[in-house]
Structure 1
Protein backbone atom coordinates (compact mmCIF):
# COMPACT_ATOMS: atom_id res chain seq x y z
CA UNK A 1 0.00 0.00 0.00
CA UNK A 2 1.28 3.45 -0.88
CA UNK A 3 1.91 5.93 1.91
CA UNK A 4 1.55 9.66 2.28
CA UNK A 5 3.94 11.82 4.27
CA UNK A 6 1.28 12.69 6.86
CA UNK A 7 0.57 8.97 7.39
CA UNK A 8 4.27 8.28 7.87
CA UNK A 9 4.63 11.10 10.37
CA UNK A 10 1.66 9.82 12.32
CA UNK A 11 3.12 6.30 12.42
CA UNK A 12 6.61 7.50 13.25
CA UNK A 13 5.71 9.87 16.06
CA UNK A 14 7.80 12.75 17.32
CA UNK A 15 10.63 10.70 18.79
CA UNK A 16 10.62 7.92 16.19
CA UNK A 17 13.12 7.36 13.44
CA UNK A 18 12.28 8.84 10.04
CA UNK A 19 12.05 6.88 6.83
CA UNK A 20 15.35 8.19 5.42
CA UNK A 21 17.26 7.26 8.57
CA UNK A 22 15.58 3.86 8.73
CA UNK A 23 16.55 3.07 5.13
CA UNK A 24 20.08 4.31 5.82
CA UNK A 25 20.30 1.96 8.81
CA UNK A 26 19.05 -0.97 6.72
CA UNK A 27 21.68 -0.28 4.07
CA UNK A 28 24.37 -0.02 6.72
CA UNK A 29 23.21 -3.29 8.24
CA UNK A 30 23.25 -5.00 4.85
CA UNK A 31 26.75 -3.80 4.00
CA UNK A 32 28.30 -4.58 7.39
CA UNK A 33 26.70 -7.82 8.53
CA UNK A 34 28.43 -11.14 8.11
CA UNK A 35 25.23 -13.10 8.66
CA UNK A 36 23.76 -14.45 5.45
CA UNK A 37 20.25 -14.63 6.97
CA UNK A 38 20.49 -11.01 8.05
CA UNK A 39 21.72 -9.96 4.59
CA UNK A 40 18.86 -11.81 2.93
CA UNK A 41 16.20 -10.33 5.23
CA UNK A 42 17.62 -6.81 4.96
CA UNK A 43 17.83 -6.89 1.16
CA UNK A 44 14.28 -8.21 1.02
CA UNK A 45 13.12 -5.32 3.19
CA UNK A 46 14.98 -2.79 1.05
CA UNK A 47 13.38 -4.24 -2.09
CA UNK A 48 9.95 -3.86 -0.49
CA UNK A 49 10.61 -0.20 0.34
CA UNK A 50 11.34 0.40 -3.37
CA UNK A 51 7.67 -0.34 -4.10
CA UNK A 52 6.31 2.85 -2.51
CA UNK A 53 6.79 6.12 -4.46
CA UNK A 54 7.16 8.04 -1.21
CA UNK A 55 10.53 6.33 -0.79
CA UNK A 56 11.90 7.12 -4.27
CA UNK A 57 13.79 10.25 -3.24
CA UNK A 58 15.32 8.55 -0.22
CA UNK A 59 16.35 5.61 -2.38
CA UNK A 60 18.09 7.95 -4.82
CA UNK A 61 19.83 9.89 -2.06
CA UNK A 62 21.06 6.68 -0.45
CA UNK A 63 22.22 5.14 -3.77
CA UNK A 64 20.15 2.02 -3.14
CA UNK A 65 19.84 1.37 -6.88
CA UNK A 66 23.63 0.97 -6.99
CA UNK A 67 23.40 -1.63 -4.23
CA UNK A 68 20.68 -3.56 -6.09
CA UNK A 69 22.72 -3.51 -9.30
CA UNK A 70 25.91 -4.59 -7.54
CA UNK A 71 24.09 -7.58 -6.01
CA UNK A 72 23.40 -8.86 -9.53
CA UNK A 73 27.02 -10.02 -9.61
CA UNK A 74 26.48 -12.07 -6.46
CA UNK A 75 26.65 -15.86 -6.62
CA UNK A 76 23.69 -16.31 -4.30
CA UNK A 77 20.34 -16.78 -6.04
CA UNK A 78 18.28 -15.45 -3.14
CA UNK A 79 20.21 -12.18 -3.04
CA UNK A 80 19.96 -11.87 -6.83
CA UNK A 81 16.22 -12.51 -6.57
CA UNK A 82 15.74 -9.73 -4.00
CA UNK A 83 18.00 -7.31 -5.88
CA UNK A 84 15.99 -7.85 -9.08
CA UNK A 85 12.79 -7.43 -7.06
CA UNK A 86 14.05 -4.08 -5.79
CA UNK A 87 14.96 -2.95 -9.29
CA UNK A 88 11.60 -4.11 -10.58
CA UNK A 89 9.86 -2.09 -7.87
CA UNK A 90 11.84 1.12 -8.41
CA UNK A 91 11.98 1.03 -12.23
CA UNK A 92 8.48 2.50 -12.50
CA UNK A 93 9.98 5.82 -11.39
CA UNK A 94 11.15 7.50 -14.64
CA UNK A 95 14.22 9.07 -13.03
CA UNK A 96 15.30 5.78 -11.49
CA UNK A 97 14.64 4.00 -14.79
CA UNK A 98 16.98 6.39 -16.61
CA UNK A 99 19.61 5.90 -13.92
CA UNK A 100 19.43 2.12 -14.28
CA UNK A 101 19.78 2.45 -18.06
CA UNK A 102 22.80 4.75 -17.66
CA UNK A 103 24.57 2.16 -15.50
CA UNK A 104 24.31 -0.60 -18.12
CA UNK A 105 21.35 -2.05 -16.23
CA UNK A 106 19.72 -3.51 -19.34
CA UNK A 107 22.69 -5.79 -19.96
CA UNK A 108 23.01 -6.75 -16.29
CA UNK A 109 19.31 -7.55 -15.96
CA UNK A 110 19.13 -9.31 -19.34
CA UNK A 111 21.73 -11.80 -18.18
CA UNK A 112 19.07 -13.28 -15.87
CA UNK A 113 16.50 -13.99 -18.57
CA UNK A 114 15.77 -17.71 -18.80
CA UNK A 115 17.52 -18.29 -15.49
CA UNK A 116 16.93 -21.73 -13.99
CA UNK A 117 15.20 -20.05 -11.03
CA UNK A 118 11.80 -19.04 -12.42
CA UNK A 119 11.36 -16.16 -9.96
CA UNK A 120 14.65 -14.62 -11.02
CA UNK A 121 13.73 -14.99 -14.68
CA UNK A 122 10.30 -13.43 -14.15
CA UNK A 123 11.77 -10.52 -12.16
CA UNK A 124 14.32 -9.88 -14.89
CA UNK A 125 11.74 -9.88 -17.69
CA UNK A 126 9.27 -7.74 -15.73
CA UNK A 127 12.01 -5.21 -14.93
CA UNK A 128 13.02 -5.04 -18.59
CA UNK A 129 9.37 -4.62 -19.56
CA UNK A 130 9.22 -1.40 -17.56
CA UNK A 131 12.69 -0.25 -18.60
CA UNK A 132 11.74 -0.32 -22.27
CA UNK A 133 8.94 2.16 -21.62
CA UNK A 134 11.75 4.73 -21.67
CA UNK A 135 12.61 6.44 -24.93
CA UNK A 136 16.29 6.10 -23.95
CA UNK A 137 16.23 2.33 -23.60
CA UNK A 138 17.54 0.49 -26.64
CA UNK A 139 16.21 -3.00 -27.28
CA UNK A 140 19.21 -5.29 -27.79
CA UNK A 141 19.11 -7.15 -31.11
CA UNK A 142 19.32 -10.59 -29.54
CA UNK A 143 16.62 -9.95 -26.95
CA UNK A 144 13.75 -10.99 -29.22
CA UNK A 145 15.33 -14.41 -29.79
CA UNK A 146 15.70 -14.87 -26.03
CA UNK A 147 12.11 -13.82 -25.29
CA UNK A 148 10.75 -16.15 -27.99
CA UNK A 149 12.16 -19.01 -25.92
CA UNK A 150 9.64 -18.16 -23.21
CA UNK A 151 6.86 -19.42 -25.51
CA UNK A 152 8.01 -23.02 -25.06
CA UNK A 153 8.50 -22.81 -21.31
CA UNK A 154 6.46 -25.25 -19.18
CA UNK A 155 5.45 -22.45 -16.79
CA UNK A 156 2.30 -20.60 -17.82
CA UNK A 157 3.54 -17.46 -16.07
CA UNK A 158 6.70 -17.48 -18.18
CA UNK A 159 4.73 -18.09 -21.38
CA UNK A 160 2.26 -15.29 -20.62
CA UNK A 161 4.87 -12.70 -19.68
CA UNK A 162 6.99 -13.58 -22.70
CA UNK A 163 3.97 -13.23 -24.98
CA UNK A 164 3.03 -9.82 -23.55
CA UNK A 165 6.63 -8.65 -23.87
CA UNK A 166 6.87 -9.75 -27.51
CA UNK A 167 3.50 -8.19 -28.38
CA UNK A 168 4.40 -4.92 -26.68
CA UNK A 169 7.93 -4.40 -27.93
CA UNK A 170 8.50 -6.48 -31.04
CA UNK A 171 5.20 -6.75 -32.88
CA UNK A 172 4.66 -3.02 -33.02
CA UNK A 173 7.66 -2.47 -35.32
Structure 2
Protein backbone atom coordinates (compact mmCIF):
# COMPACT_ATOMS: atom_id res chain seq x y z
CA UNK A 1 0.00 0.00 0.00
CA UNK A 2 2.64 2.57 1.00
CA UNK A 3 5.29 3.31 -1.56
CA UNK A 4 8.98 4.00 -1.77
CA UNK A 5 11.18 4.94 -4.72
CA UNK A 6 12.07 1.33 -5.55
CA UNK A 7 8.47 0.20 -5.50
CA UNK A 8 7.47 3.14 -7.69
CA UNK A 9 10.06 2.24 -10.32
CA UNK A 10 8.86 -1.36 -10.23
CA UNK A 11 5.18 -0.38 -10.58
CA UNK A 12 5.78 2.25 -13.25
CA UNK A 13 7.61 -0.06 -15.57
CA UNK A 14 9.82 0.84 -18.46
CA UNK A 15 7.30 3.01 -20.33
CA UNK A 16 5.00 4.24 -17.55
CA UNK A 17 4.73 7.76 -16.19
CA UNK A 18 6.66 8.30 -12.94
CA UNK A 19 4.41 9.14 -9.98
CA UNK A 20 5.85 12.62 -9.45
CA UNK A 21 5.26 13.49 -13.10
CA UNK A 22 1.75 12.00 -13.03
CA UNK A 23 0.76 13.97 -9.91
CA UNK A 24 2.26 17.14 -11.34
CA UNK A 25 0.24 16.61 -14.51
CA UNK A 26 -2.93 16.27 -12.42
CA UNK A 27 -2.12 19.44 -10.48
CA UNK A 28 -1.48 21.28 -13.75
CA UNK A 29 -4.76 19.96 -15.17
CA UNK A 30 -6.53 21.24 -12.06
CA UNK A 31 -4.94 24.66 -12.39
CA UNK A 32 -5.82 24.86 -16.09
CA UNK A 33 -9.36 23.47 -15.80
CA UNK A 34 -12.10 25.95 -16.47
CA UNK A 35 -15.16 23.89 -15.64
CA UNK A 36 -16.08 22.89 -12.11
CA UNK A 37 -16.79 19.26 -12.96
CA UNK A 38 -13.25 18.72 -14.23
CA UNK A 39 -11.78 20.38 -11.14
CA UNK A 40 -13.93 18.19 -8.88
CA UNK A 41 -12.88 15.01 -10.66
CA UNK A 42 -9.18 15.93 -10.54
CA UNK A 43 -9.20 16.88 -6.85
CA UNK A 44 -11.15 13.75 -5.96
CA UNK A 45 -8.53 11.70 -7.79
CA UNK A 46 -5.67 13.55 -6.08
CA UNK A 47 -7.29 13.07 -2.66
CA UNK A 48 -7.02 9.32 -3.21
CA UNK A 49 -3.24 9.70 -3.41
CA UNK A 50 -3.05 11.54 -0.08
CA UNK A 51 -3.04 8.37 2.04
CA UNK A 52 0.52 7.53 0.95
CA UNK A 53 3.40 9.50 2.53
CA UNK A 54 5.30 9.14 -0.74
CA UNK A 55 2.89 11.61 -2.34
CA UNK A 56 2.67 14.23 0.39
CA UNK A 57 5.17 16.71 -1.01
CA UNK A 58 3.19 16.99 -4.24
CA UNK A 59 -0.19 17.55 -2.64
CA UNK A 60 0.22 19.65 0.51
CA UNK A 61 -0.77 23.10 -0.73
CA UNK A 62 -3.31 22.00 -3.33
CA UNK A 63 -5.77 20.70 -0.75
CA UNK A 64 -5.57 23.91 1.28
CA UNK A 65 -6.27 25.89 -1.87
CA UNK A 66 -9.31 23.72 -2.59
CA UNK A 67 -11.02 24.44 0.71
CA UNK A 68 -11.10 28.14 -0.11
CA UNK A 69 -13.13 27.51 -3.27
CA UNK A 70 -16.86 28.34 -3.41
CA UNK A 71 -17.57 24.90 -4.94
CA UNK A 72 -18.71 22.53 -2.15
CA UNK A 73 -17.35 19.45 -3.95
CA UNK A 74 -13.88 21.00 -4.19
CA UNK A 75 -14.06 21.86 -0.50
CA UNK A 76 -15.14 18.30 0.31
CA UNK A 77 -12.35 16.69 -1.70
CA UNK A 78 -9.79 19.21 -0.47
CA UNK A 79 -10.54 18.69 3.21
CA UNK A 80 -10.71 14.94 2.52
CA UNK A 81 -7.16 15.12 1.17
CA UNK A 82 -6.08 17.12 4.22
CA UNK A 83 -7.69 14.53 6.46
CA UNK A 84 -5.78 11.74 4.70
CA UNK A 85 -2.47 13.59 4.92
CA UNK A 86 -2.56 15.44 8.26
CA UNK A 87 -1.43 12.52 10.41
CA UNK A 88 2.07 13.02 9.00
CA UNK A 89 3.87 15.54 11.26
CA UNK A 90 5.43 17.45 8.36
CA UNK A 91 2.05 17.77 6.66
CA UNK A 92 0.49 18.92 9.91
CA UNK A 93 3.19 21.57 10.20
CA UNK A 94 2.59 22.78 6.64
CA UNK A 95 -1.17 22.90 7.26
CA UNK A 96 -0.65 24.95 10.42
CA UNK A 97 1.94 27.31 8.91
CA UNK A 98 -0.25 27.89 5.86
CA UNK A 99 -3.24 29.04 7.89
CA UNK A 100 -5.07 25.75 7.42
CA UNK A 101 -6.64 25.41 10.84
CA UNK A 102 -9.11 28.31 10.44
CA UNK A 103 -9.95 27.01 6.97
CA UNK A 104 -10.65 23.53 8.35
CA UNK A 105 -12.75 25.03 11.15
CA UNK A 106 -14.97 26.76 8.57
CA UNK A 107 -15.60 23.33 7.05
CA UNK A 108 -17.37 22.31 10.28
CA UNK A 109 -20.32 24.43 9.14
CA UNK A 110 -20.56 22.90 5.68
CA UNK A 111 -23.89 21.52 4.48
CA UNK A 112 -21.98 18.50 3.10
CA UNK A 113 -21.79 15.57 5.53
CA UNK A 114 -18.43 14.28 4.30
CA UNK A 115 -16.88 17.73 4.55
CA UNK A 116 -17.87 18.00 8.21
CA UNK A 117 -16.61 14.49 8.97
CA UNK A 118 -13.28 15.16 7.25
CA UNK A 119 -12.95 18.46 9.12
CA UNK A 120 -13.70 16.82 12.47
CA UNK A 121 -11.15 14.08 11.82
CA UNK A 122 -8.54 16.57 10.62
CA UNK A 123 -8.95 18.71 13.74
CA UNK A 124 -8.78 15.57 15.88
CA UNK A 125 -5.35 14.77 14.44
CA UNK A 126 -4.10 18.36 14.32
CA UNK A 127 -5.01 19.28 17.89
CA UNK A 128 -1.89 19.29 20.06
CA UNK A 129 -0.30 21.61 22.63
CA UNK A 130 0.83 23.98 19.87
CA UNK A 131 -2.56 24.23 18.15
CA UNK A 132 -4.96 23.90 21.09
CA UNK A 133 -5.59 27.64 21.40
CA UNK A 134 -6.48 27.93 17.70
CA UNK A 135 -8.71 24.86 17.64
CA UNK A 136 -10.36 24.82 21.06
CA UNK A 137 -12.05 28.21 20.81
CA UNK A 138 -15.38 28.34 22.62
CA UNK A 139 -17.45 28.49 19.42
CA UNK A 140 -15.62 25.49 17.93
CA UNK A 141 -16.02 23.39 21.07
CA UNK A 142 -19.69 24.40 21.22
CA UNK A 143 -20.27 23.26 17.64
CA UNK A 144 -18.41 20.00 18.16
CA UNK A 145 -20.43 19.43 21.34
CA UNK A 146 -23.66 19.88 19.34
CA UNK A 147 -22.42 17.29 16.85
CA UNK A 148 -21.62 14.93 19.72
CA UNK A 149 -25.17 15.33 21.02
CA UNK A 150 -26.73 14.74 17.60
CA UNK A 151 -26.55 10.94 17.66
CA UNK A 152 -30.13 10.55 16.49
CA UNK A 153 -29.46 12.77 13.48
CA UNK A 154 -25.98 11.58 12.50
CA UNK A 155 -24.13 8.78 14.22
CA UNK A 156 -20.92 9.56 12.33
CA UNK A 157 -20.90 13.21 13.51
CA UNK A 158 -21.79 12.15 17.00
CA UNK A 159 -19.13 9.46 17.37
CA UNK A 160 -16.34 11.47 15.80
CA UNK A 161 -17.25 14.62 17.72
CA UNK A 162 -17.41 12.69 20.97
CA UNK A 163 -13.99 11.15 20.32
CA UNK A 164 -12.63 14.65 19.70
CA UNK A 165 -14.13 15.96 22.95
CA UNK A 166 -12.92 12.94 24.95
CA UNK A 167 -9.37 13.37 23.73
CA UNK A 168 -8.95 17.14 23.56
CA UNK A 169 -11.45 18.91 25.83
CA UNK A 170 -11.15 18.94 29.59
CA UNK A 171 -14.54 18.80 31.25
- TM over 0.5: same fold? yes
TM-score by length of 1: 0.88
CA spacing shift, 1:140–1:90, aligned 2, 3 Å? same
Give the conservation status (yes or no) of the 8 Å contact 1:72–1:84. yes
- Alpha-carbon offset, residue 99 of structure 1: 1.1
| Unaligned residue ranges in structure 2 (runs of 5+) | none
Give the conservation status (yes or no) of the 8 Å contact 1:112–1:124. yes
Q: Give the match's secondary structure for 2:14.
A: coil
- Aligned twin of 1:102: 97
TM-score by length of 2: 0.89
Give the conservation status (yes or no) of the 8 Å contact 2:36–2:71. no
Q: Which moved more, 1:136-145 or 1:43-52?
A: 136-145
Count of aligned positions: 166
| Unaligned residue ranges in structure 1 (runs of 5+) | none
| Match among 143, 147, 154 for residue 146 of structure 1 | 143
Quick one: distance in 2 between partners of 1:162 and 1:84? 16
Q: What are the superposed Cα offsets for residues 54-88 of structure 1, whole Å, 9 maximum, x if unpaired?
A: 2223x2xxxx3222112212111111100001111
2:17 aligned with 1:9, yes or no? no
Quick one: distance in 1 between partners of 2:63 and 2:3? 23
Cα RMSD, aligned residues only: 1.6
